[in-house]
Structure 1
Amino acid sequence: MKRFYTALDVENAASKGENTIVVNENDVVTSVAKEAADKKGIKFVTQDIMVNSTAKVTKSEVINSNPASTKVIAPQYKGLISEQEVDKWREEFPILKDVVHVANCSQSAQAKRVRGAINKYLDNWLTVGMDWDSWVQEVYEAKVEFAKLINADPGEIAISTSVSEAVSSIASALDYTGKRKKVVVTDAEFPTVDHIWLAHQKHGAKVDFISVDENYQIDINEYERNIDENTLITSITHVYYLNGFKQDIAKIAEIAHRKGSLLLVDTYQCLGTEPVDVKKMNIDILTSGNLKYLFGIPGVAFLYVNKDLIPMLKPSLTGWFGQENPFLFQTRYLDWAADARKFETGTPPVLTSYAARAGLEIVNEVGVERIKDRIDMLSAHALNGCLSRGLKCVSPFDVSKKGGTTAIWVSHKMGSHDMEVELRKRNIIASARGDVIRVAPHFYTKPQEIDYVLDQIKQILDSK
C-alpha cells in the first residue's frame, strides 16, 4: 500500500534519534516532509534512491522525462489582451526592458505607478511632516480596491502587515473548547499558515493534515473524508506555491459548509491572475498579500471576513486599531469594531498601503478575467515547451487545474537556488523552491520569453 510521509513522520524519527527513514519506491514523500528532513539532517532512502532536496537521484530517467502520453489540456485562448496592449503595458514596468521576469509567484516587477505612490507618501511626509488624516484615508482606499477585486464590501476587509498576522488574528478569534475543535489543513499550504494552526494546539485546536499525492495535487474527495462533524475550520490554499496546482474552491466550500465547517482560503499564489468572487464561491474568510501578482511590496496584506461572521469572532490578537474608535484612547475595556476592522491590530502599514492601492488599481484596470485568459495561454505554452524540450514538469498539465506557476524539476542535476542564480546571469528572474525552478509569468510576459527561459534551463541542465 502506498504511504504518504509528512513532517510528523520526520518529527517522530528525530525524536528517536534516527537519521534515515526507509520508504518504498511507490511511497510519497511530501514537500513539507522533505523540507523538515533537510533541517534535521534526516534522509529518506530506498534501496537505490535517496529522496531529499539536495541528493542526486540515480534513476535519472524517472526524473528527466514526463510520461510519453502526457498532453496539455487548455481552454481556447481568446486573446482578450492584444499583443499591442501588452507592449503598451510593458512600458509601465521598466525592468522588462532588460530582463525576463518570470518570478511573479515570488515578487512582481515594479510598476511606475507603484513607485510613484511610494514617492507620494515620502513627499507628503517630507513636506507636511505628519498627515494622519490622509494617511488613514489611503489605507481605507487600498481596502476599497481589494474589496472590488474579490466582490466584497469594504467593511468586510481588514488590513494587515502579512498573511501570517491575518491568519493569526482569525486563529485567535476561534473557540476550541467545544466539540468542534478540529482544523483541517493540507501539505500544500505555505508553511506559515500551518505553523499558526499548529501553535494553537495549546489552546485546544486539533490539527489534521491532508497530504498531497504523488503528482503534488490533492484529490477533492480527501476533503469529504477529512472534514467531519468535529471540524471547526478548513484552512486551504487556492494554489499550491510549489507547482501551481489549483483547487476548486467553490466545491470545497460546499463540502465544508455541508459539514458545518468554516472555510479560510489563502489566495496569495493566484490573486490577480485568477478571478475570485467571495460571494459566488461562498468563502467565509480570505487572505492575500500584495507582492506577487498584485504588483505590491512586502509588508501589507488584506483579510476578508464575511460580514455575517464578524460578530461571532473575538480575536485575542488585537490592538487599538481593532477597536470601534481607536482615538478614544481608553484602556479599561475591549470595544471591537463592528466591521472587519475588528481584526486589525496596531498602527496600520501606511507606506505599503500606498503601494498596495496603486498595484491593485492596475489589476482592476486590466481586469482579472482578461489576465486569466493570457495566463492560461502562457501556462499552456510553458507546459508544451517543457514537453518538447524533455524538461520534467511537476505542474498539472490540465490548465484548468493550474495557476500561473510552471514548476520544472532540477534537483537531479543541481540545487534549485543554483539554477536561479545561473538564470539571473542570463537576465532571467525565476524563483527557486525545493526541488524545482518556478516559471511564473504575468500578463506582461511574452510567449517568446517563455521559450528563452526554457531553452536556458535545458542548456544549464544539459551542461551538468
Structure 2
Amino acid sequence: MSDWTNLSFANVATTSPAAHNASLAWSDALARGGAAEFDGEAEKNGMLPLRQATSRLLSCGVEDVCVGSSATELLCSIAWAVWPEEGSNVVSTRSSFPSTVYPWSRVAEASGAEIRLAEHDSNLYTNPKNILELIDESTSVVTLSHIEFSNGQRYDIEKFAKAAHSVGAILVIDATQSMGMFPIDATSCGADVIVSSGYKWLRGTYGAAVGYISPSIRSNLKPGLVGFRSHADIWDLRADRMDLPEDASKFEYTTIHFGAALGLAAAVEEICEIGIEEVWKHDLILAEAVVNGANHLGLGVVSPMSAEERSAIVSLRLPDGISSEVVAKRLQEEYSILVTSRSGFLRVSPHIDNSIEQVNSLISALEEILN
C-alpha cells in the first residue's frame, strides 16, 4: 500500500480494504471459471447484498432500494420516468453538482418544463429561503444535492420534503456527498428519491451506486432505461412482453460490474457496524480540526459552520494570488497529502480512515507552502 494521506473523500475514497477484497474475489472467480463460478442464479442475485446493506444504512426496506452503475445513471432513468410536464417547473440550485440537474434539464428540453435554479453568494452559499421561494403550485420536482460539493453546505431534507409535498411535487436527493458520512433515515426524512455514488463517502469503488425509491411514488413510475433485467423474471427471455418488478429493482435493467457492487456492499456493512452516528461524530471532529488549523493560518473558511448546515467538507479561501490548484498539486507531490481544488477553493474532506494527526500534518504542510 502507498503512503498517501487521503483527506479528499469528497473526491475519491481510498477504497475500503473489505470492498477491495470482495471485488477482487469476484474478479478472480470470473477469470478462473466464468459462468461456472458466477452462474445465472448468482447473476440474478448479484445486487441483493448491496440492496440489503443499503437498506440497513438508510433504515428502509430492501424492496425500497435499487442498484445501478452510477448515481447519474439512476437519476437519468428516474427523470425520464417522472417526466415533468410542459407548464411545470423543476427547482434546484445553481451551485449543485451538474449531474444533480443535467438529467432534469435534458428531460425538460423534451417535455417543455422549466428549470429554476436558486442563486448563491461569493462563497457558493445558497440561502434555503431562495430555494423555497422558487417552489410554487406548478413545481413538479425539487432536486437537491443533500450536501453541496463545492462548500459542504447541507440542506434539511425534511424541510424541503414538506415544501415539495405541499404543492404536490416530489423531492429528489443526490446524497453522493452525504451517504456514508451523515445519518439519513430514508423512511422518515420525506424524500421520494435518494441516490448516491459508491466511490466517495461510502468507500467503494467506481462502477456501483445505490438508490432509494419511496413506495409512495414507486408504483406510478416506469423507468426511463430498460433492459433484460427489467422483466420480473430476468431469465424468462422473451421480447414480446416486459412485466416490471413491483419493488425498486424495476430500475435495475442490465449487467453491471458485480464485483464493484459486492465490494460496495462490504464497505456499507462496515459503516453500519461502526454506526453512522459514530462516523458522523468522528468526521465532525476532524472537520473542526481543519477549521481550527485554517483559522490559525489566517485562511478563510467558506463552508457553513452552523450545526444545521455544516458537513465534513471544509472549503478554504486562500490568500489573494495563491492558486488552490497549485497548492493542491504541491500537497500531493511534495507531501503525499490529497485534497482537492474546487470552484477556486481548497476543499478538505476527511473521513473515518483519517486521524487528527493527519489533519495536523496537512496544516503544517499548508503553513510551509504559504510561507
- 2:357 counterpart (440, 448, 452): 448
Matches of 2:363 and 2:120, distance apart in 1: 26
- Structure 2 unaligned segments of length 5 or more: list them: none
- TM-superposed deviation, 1:259: 1.9
- Alignment-derived partner of residue 381 in structure 1: 289
- TM-superposed deviation, 1:389: 1.1
For residue 121 of structure 2, give the secondary structure of its aligned residue in structure 1: coil
- 2:224 counterpart (316, 327, 331): 316
- Alignment-derived partner of residue 212 in structure 2: 304
Q: Which amino acid aligns with 1:106?
A: N
Q: Against the structure 1 CA distance between its residues 331 and 274, is the aligned structure 2 distance closer, same or farther, given a 3 Å change threshold?
A: same
Matches of 1:400 and 1:452, distance apart in 2: 29
Q: Which amino acid aligns with 1:123?
A: D
- Alignment-derived partner of residue 199 in structure 2: 291
- Alignment-derived partner of residue 185 in structure 1: 92
For residue 219 of structure 2, give the secondary structure of its aligned residue in structure 1: helix
Deviates more, 1:151-160 or 1:392-401: 392-401
Deviates more, 1:311-320 or 1:164-173: 311-320
1:247 aligns with 2:152: no
Matches of 2:86 and 2:106, distance apart in 1: 18
Q: Against the structure 1 CA distance between its residues 102 and 435, is the aligned structure 2 distance closer, same or farther, given a 3 Å change threshold?
A: same
| Number of residue pairs matched by the alignment | 366
Deviations 1:107-130 (A, max 9, x none): 122332122101210221133321
Deviations 1:200-220 (A, max 9, x none): 122222111111234422222
Deviations 1:84-140 (A, max 9, x none): xxxxxxxxxx55xx2322011111223321221012102211333211322443321
Contact 1:305-1:340 at 8 Å conserved across structures: yes
Q: Against the structure 1 CA distance between its residues 221 and 214, is the aligned structure 2 distance closer, same or farther, given a 3 Å change threshold?
A: same
Deviations 1:366-390 (A, max 9, x none): 1110011111111222112111110
TM-score of the superposed pair, with normalisation by structure 1: 0.75
- 2:347 counterpart (419, 431, 438): 438
Deviates more, 1:102-111 or 1:408-417: 408-417
Percent identity of equivalent pairs: 23
- TM-superposed deviation, 1:268: 0.5
Contact 2:340-2:348 at 8 Å conserved across structures: yes
- 1:273 counterpart (175, 181, 184): 181
- 1:129 counterpart (34, 43, 48): 34
Q: Against the structure 1 CA distance between its residues 399 and 431, is the aligned structure 2 distance closer, same or farther, given a 3 Å change threshold?
A: farther
- TM-superposed deviation, 1:405: 0.9
Q: Against the structure 1 CA distance between its residues 408 and 177, is the aligned structure 2 distance closer, same or farther, given a 3 Å change threshold?
A: closer
Q: How does 1:331-342 map to 2 (within 5 A)?
A: 331-342=239-250
Matches of 2:10 and 2:84, distance apart in 1: 34
1:198 aligns with 2:97: no
Q: Which amino acid aligns with 2:125?
A: Q
- TM-superposed deviation, 1:335: 2.0
Q: Against the structure 1 CA distance between its residues 122 and 307, is the aligned structure 2 distance closer, same or farther, given a 3 Å change threshold?
A: same
Matches of 1:311 and 1:336, distance apart in 2: 10
Contact 1:188-1:237 at 8 Å conserved across structures: no
Contact 2:96-2:148 at 8 Å conserved across structures: yes
Q: Which amino acid aligns with 1:101?
A: N
Matches of 1:415 and 1:323, distance apart in 2: 52
- TM-superposed deviation, 1:269: 0.5
Q: Which amino acid aligns with 2:26?
A: Y
Matches of 1:439 and 1:288, distance apart in 2: 20
- TM-superposed deviation, 1:334: 3.2
Matches of 2:26 and 2:4, distance apart in 1: 28
1:141 aligns with 2:49: yes
- Alignment-derived partner of residue 10 in structure 2: 105
Contact 1:197-1:205 at 8 Å conserved across structures: no
1:369 aligns with 2:277: yes
Q: Against the structure 1 CA distance between its residues 349 and 307, is the aligned structure 2 distance closer, same or farther, given a 3 Å change threshold?
A: farther
- TM-superposed deviation, 1:177: 3.5
- 1:166 counterpart (64, 74, 91): 74
Q: Which amino acid aligns with 1:190?
A: F
TM-align CA RMSD:
1.8
Matches of 1:117 and 1:402, distance apart in 2: 33
Matches of 1:257 and 1:432, distance apart in 2: 37
- Alignment-derived partner of residue 21 in structure 1: none
Q: Which amino acid aligns with 2:15?
A: Q
Matches of 1:176 and 1:392, distance apart in 2: 40
Contact 2:84-2:90 at 8 Å conserved across structures: no
Contact 2:78-2:223 at 8 Å conserved across structures: yes
Matches of 2:24 and 2:223, distance apart in 1: 34
Q: Which has the larger radius of gyration?
A: 1
- Structure 1 unaligned segments of length 5 or more: list them: 1-93
Q: Against the structure 1 CA distance between its residues 113 and 330, is the aligned structure 2 distance closer, same or farther, given a 3 Å change threshold?
A: same
Q: Which amino acid aligns with 1:251?
A: K
Contact 2:172-2:192 at 8 Å conserved across structures: yes
